[in-house]
A = this chain, B = another copy of it.
Amino acid sequence: MTSYRPTFGPRNKKTTLKIALEEAIATHVFNATNTLPPVNGTAELPYVDTAYVADVKDRLTNVEARIQAMDAAGVDLAVLSLTMPGIEGIFDTPVAVETARKVNDEIHEIYTSGKYASRFRAFGCVAMQDPTKAAAEAERCVNELGFIGILINGFSNIGDANTIQYLDEPQCDPFWAKIAELNVPVYIHPRIPSPSQMRIYKGYEFLGGSPWGFGVETATHAIRLMVSGLFDRYPSLTVILGHCGEGLPFSLNRIDHRFRHFQPQHKQCKLSLTEYWKNNFVITTAGVMSDTTFFDTLKSCGEDRLLWSVDYPYEDYDEIAEWFDNLELSENTRAKIGWENARRILKLN
C-alpha cells in the first residue's frame, strides 16, 4: 500500500495507557503447573505445539521479555497472578497454605517491589483448602504486600484430585467475610477440571481442558455463587470473570427466564441472576479477540464493568492490543475499558 494512502479514522490507533489483569506468572518457589492432571504420566501443559510451550514457559518467568511485550503493545500496567492450577491444585492443606505465602512473597519481591514495580500490580493467591488461613493471607496480601485483590483458580482440591470445593460452600464464608471487609475484588480464573469431571466428556477429555471446558466450569462456578445467596449476604462483593464472562452474556436472559418455572433445589438467592450480574460482576476480555463476543459482553455489563485483558503469555500482547486498539468504539469507551475502569475498580493510584 503506497505510503500516502490513509487508513480509516478509527484504525491503527495505539493506546499507551492500557492495563491488563489476567496476566500469568510462574514462580521459583513453586511450579504451579505441577498440579496439573498428568498428561502421559507427567504434569504438563496439554499442548502439542512444543515451540509454543517452550515459549510460554520462558515467558512465565521472563520479566524483561514481559516488559518488552507490554511496551510494544502500549500496555502501561499488568496485574499479575500465579498461573493455574496453582495453589488450588495442592492436595495437602498445610502445604497449600505455606506455598501461597511463599508465592506471594516472591511476586512481591520480583514484581511489585522490584526493578519494574511501576509496571506491575498483583492478585494474591490463597489456600482455600483452609478458608480461615486464606482470609488471613488475603489480608496480608492487601495490607502488607499492597496487592489489589485475590485470584482463585476455580475449585480447590482437598486431599485428592476428585475431592473438590467450590467458593460458595459454607466453609468458605470466613474468606468472603474478610474479602468484604478488605473491599477488594476476587478474580475467578478457570482451571482444568478434575479427572472425574473430565470423565463426563467420555473419551474427549481434552474438551475439559479446552477453552470450552474452562468456560463451562468457570461459568458454572459463577452461577453457583449467584444462586447460593452469597451476594445477598455480602452485597458489596466484586467478582471478576475473564474471557468476556465465560459465555454467560449469551445465556443469562434465558436462564433467568426458565428459573421462573424450574425447581431450583438449593437455590437460595433473592434476586435474578441478571441483578447479580449487574451489581457484583466485573468482566475482562482476557483471551478474547472476537468483535461479536466483545460487543455482546459490553451490552450485558455496560462500559463501566468491562476491562481489557490479554492472558499473557498464553496469548500475545501485540495481537490482542491491536485488535482492541482498532475496535470500532467511542474513544471515551475505549479509554474506560482500556484503563479507566481498572484504575477505579482496582483503586490504582
Answer whether residue A62 sits at the interface, using C-beta atoms and an 8 A cutoff. no
Instruction: Identify which of A90-98, A101-109, A176-184, A297-305 touches chain B.
Output: A297-305
B205 & A290 in contact (Cβ 8 Å cutoff): no
A316 & B1 in contact (Cβ 8 Å cutoff): yes
Q: A243-B254, A302-B303 are in contact. List 7 more A-B contacts (CB 8 A).
A: A203-B266, A204-B224, A207-B223, A254-B287, A254-B293, A290-B328, A305-B330
On chain B, the residues within 8 Å of A260 by CB distance are 6, 49
Among candidates B207, B263, B293, B303, residue contacting A47 with C-beta atoms closer than 8 Å: B263
A1 & B296 in contact (Cβ 8 Å cutoff): no
Answer whether residue A227 sits at the interface, using C-beta atoms and an 8 A cutoff. yes
Instruction: Identify which of A124-132, A145-153, A211-219, A229-237 touches chain B.
Output: A211-219
Answer whether residue A261 sits at the interface, using C-beta atoms and an 8 A cutoff. yes
Among candidates B53, B316, B333, residue contacting A302 with C-beta atoms closer than 8 Å: B333
A166 to B, closest residue via Cβ = B202
Q: How many residues of A contact B (CB 8 A)?
A: 95
B259 & A210 in contact (Cβ 8 Å cutoff): yes
How distant is the Cα of A179 from the Cα of B55 in the complex, in angstroms? 46
A206 & B267 in contact (Cβ 8 Å cutoff): yes
B330 & A302 in contact (Cβ 8 Å cutoff): yes
Answer whether residue A318 sits at the interface, using C-beta atoms and an 8 A cutoff. yes
Answer whether residue A329 sits at the interface, using C-beta atoms and an 8 A cutoff. yes
How distant is the Cα of A274 from the Cα of B166 in the complex, in angstroms? 33
On chain B, the residues within 8 Å of A293 by CB distance are 250-251, 253-254, 296
Among candidates B210, B215, B296, residue contacting A296 with C-beta atoms closer than 8 Å: B296
Tell me the chain A residues, 53-75 only, with Cβ under 8 Å from chain B: 53, 55
Chain copies in the assembly? 4
Among candidates B49, B169, B204, residue contacting A266 with C-beta atoms closer than 8 Å: B204
How distant is the Cα of A328 from the Cα of B296 in the complex, in angstroms? 10
A249 & B251 in contact (Cβ 8 Å cutoff): no
Among candidates B196, B224, B250, residue contacting A247 with C-beta atoms closer than 8 Å: B250
Of A209, A224, A258, A266, most buried by chain B (CB within 10 Å of CB) is A258
Tell me the chain A residues, 266-296 only, with Cβ under 8 Å from chain B: 266-267, 272, 274-275, 278, 287-293, 295-296
Answer whether residue A51 sits at the interface, using C-beta atoms and an 8 A cutoff. yes
How distant is the Cα of A165 from the Cα of B260 in the complex, in angstroms? 32
How distant is the Cα of A47 from the Cα of B301 in the complex, in angstroms? 29
- Contacts A203-B266, A210-B255, A249-B250: A292 and B328 contacting too (C-beta < 8 A)? yes
Answer whether residue A174 sits at the interface, using C-beta atoms and an 8 A cutoff. no
A332 & B305 in contact (Cβ 8 Å cutoff): yes
B316 & A257 in contact (Cβ 8 Å cutoff): no
- Contacts A39-B263, A292-B299: A215 and B251 contacting too (C-beta < 8 A)? yes
Among candidates B4, B47, B52, residue contacting A51 with C-beta atoms closer than 8 Å: B4
**How close is A2's CB to chain B, nearest CB, in angstroms?**
7
**How close is A274's CB to chain B, nearest CB, in angstroms?**
5
Answer whether residue A41 sits at the interface, using C-beta atoms and an 8 A cutoff. no
4 closest A-B pairs by CB: A302-B330, A302-B332, A9-B256, A250-B250
